[in-house]
């Protein structure tokens, strides 16, 4: 609700006098809420946002504009935007019916025009944004993006916000290499497995990380090490020299969390993965 006051001035024969002050009240009939369909994010995720606009008045609001700052924040002297609008994802529904006419006139901040909110009705605006390299990734980080709704007939802009939190989890990947690539019969070779964690949480023993491989050709007399420390067959890994099936025991492999640093020139977050190296050496 908005209170306003007004006073008139009467002038005559170089004399002025003022009226009493009258007070009125504007009842705001447009309201809005904003929600992300996912409450957590990781780098590269696509987040879907929904803005619901409700009109409790008897007149429609036409050509309403929604402007979203896509989570813009200040880092040092720089403003960085952690979300990137995904092209052609804006849709909106009025009273549950898909509409046309909404136009994206800018992508940063995201600006959507041409939204019509029917009398005694509602509108839902949907769009997607990708988590980019300016998003904070350390544990406990958040992205809060704010949308502002403006248009003819609105006494004051409507502001709605939503916050999503970085997922606290390990995010593992594995690569395998062989050395030497050309080996003679009865020769020795080494398989190297590099496990990387780009997540903000270490992969602990309780995460039951395992590596398994079916060696073909089968290796004999293997030795296994983890980060340079020899592993013991039985309690730490199993191997079948008949089938070539190799597998580490759950909980033996752990991988440290990644670290994150911000480039003070660009504002971009750089990821240094946590790394664990597993090697298996044997004779063909």
| pLDDT per residue as tens digits for the range 30-44 | 999 999 999 999 999
Q: Which domains does the chain have, with CATH numbers?
A: 27-166 (2.60.40.740), 172-283 (2.60.40)
Residue-averaged pLDDT of the chain: 93
Task: Report the 10 Å Cβ neighbour count for 156.
Answer: 11
Find all residues with CB under 8 Å of 130, minimum gap 6, and list them. Answer: 44, 45, 46, 47, 83, 84, 86
77 pLDDT above the threshold of 80: no
Query: What integer pLDDT is reported at residue 7 of this predicted model?
Result: 80
Spatial separation of the C-alpha atoms in residues 193 and 209, rounded to whole Å: 13
1 pLDDT above the threshold of 60: no
The pLDDT tens digits of the residues spanning 88-100 come to 999 999 999 999 9
By the 8 A CB rule, do 166 and 42 touch? yes
Query: What integer pLDDT is reported at residue 10 of this predicted model?
Result: 82
Query: What integer pLDDT is reported at residue 194 of this predicted model?
Result: 98
Lowest mean pLDDT among 1-5, 168-172, 237-241: 1-5
The pLDDT tens digits of the residues spanning 125-177 come to 999 999 999 999 998 999 999 999 999 889 899 999 999 999 999 999 999 99
Query: What integer pLDDT is reported at residue 106 of this predicted model?
Result: 97
| CA 121 to each of CA 56, 94, 96, 195: distance values in angstroms, whole numbers, following the listed order | 7, 7, 10, 53
- Provide the pLDDT confidence category of residue 24 given band limits of 50, 70 and 90: low
Query: What integer pLDDT is reported at residue 80 of this predicted model?
Result: 92
- Provide the pLDDT confidence category of residue 8 given band limits of 50, 70 and 90: confident
Q: Which pTM does this prediction carry?
A: 0.78
């Amino acid at each position: 609700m908005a209170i306003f006051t007004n006073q008139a001035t009467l002038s005559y024969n170089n004399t002025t006098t003022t009226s009493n002050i009258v007070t009125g009240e504007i009842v705001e009939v447009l309201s809005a809420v904003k929600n992300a369909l996912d409450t957590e994010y990781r780098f590269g995720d696509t987040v879907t946002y929904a803005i619901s606009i409700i009109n409790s008045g008897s007149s429609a609001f036409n050509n309403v504009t929604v402007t979203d700052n896509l989570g813009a924040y200040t880092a040092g002297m720089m403003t960085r935007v952690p979300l990137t609008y995904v092209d052609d994802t804006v849709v909106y529904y009025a009273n549950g019916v898909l509409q046309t006419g909404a136009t994206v006139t800018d992508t940063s901040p995201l600006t959507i025009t041409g939204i019509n909110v029917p009398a005694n009705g509602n509108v839902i605006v949907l769009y997607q944004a990708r988590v980019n390299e300016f998003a904070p990734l350390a544990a406990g980080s958040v992205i809060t993006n704010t949308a502002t709704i403006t248009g003819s007939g609105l006494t004051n802009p409507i502001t709605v916000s939503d916050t999503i939190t970085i997922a606290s989890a390990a995010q593992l990947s594995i690569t395998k290499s062989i050395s030497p690539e050309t080996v003679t019969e009865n020769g020795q070779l080494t398989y190297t497995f590099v496990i990387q964690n780009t997540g903000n949480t270490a992969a602990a023993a309780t995460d039951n990380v395992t590596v398994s491989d079916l060696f073909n050709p089968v290796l004999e007399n293997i030795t296994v090490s983890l980060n340079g420390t020899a592993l013991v067959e039985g309690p730490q890994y199993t191997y079948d020299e008949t089938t070539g099936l190799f597998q580490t025991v759950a909980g033996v492999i752990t991988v440290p969390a990644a670290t994150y640093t911000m480039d003070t020139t660009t504002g971009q977050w750089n990821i240094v993965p946590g790394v664990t190296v597993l090697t298996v050496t044997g004779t063909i």
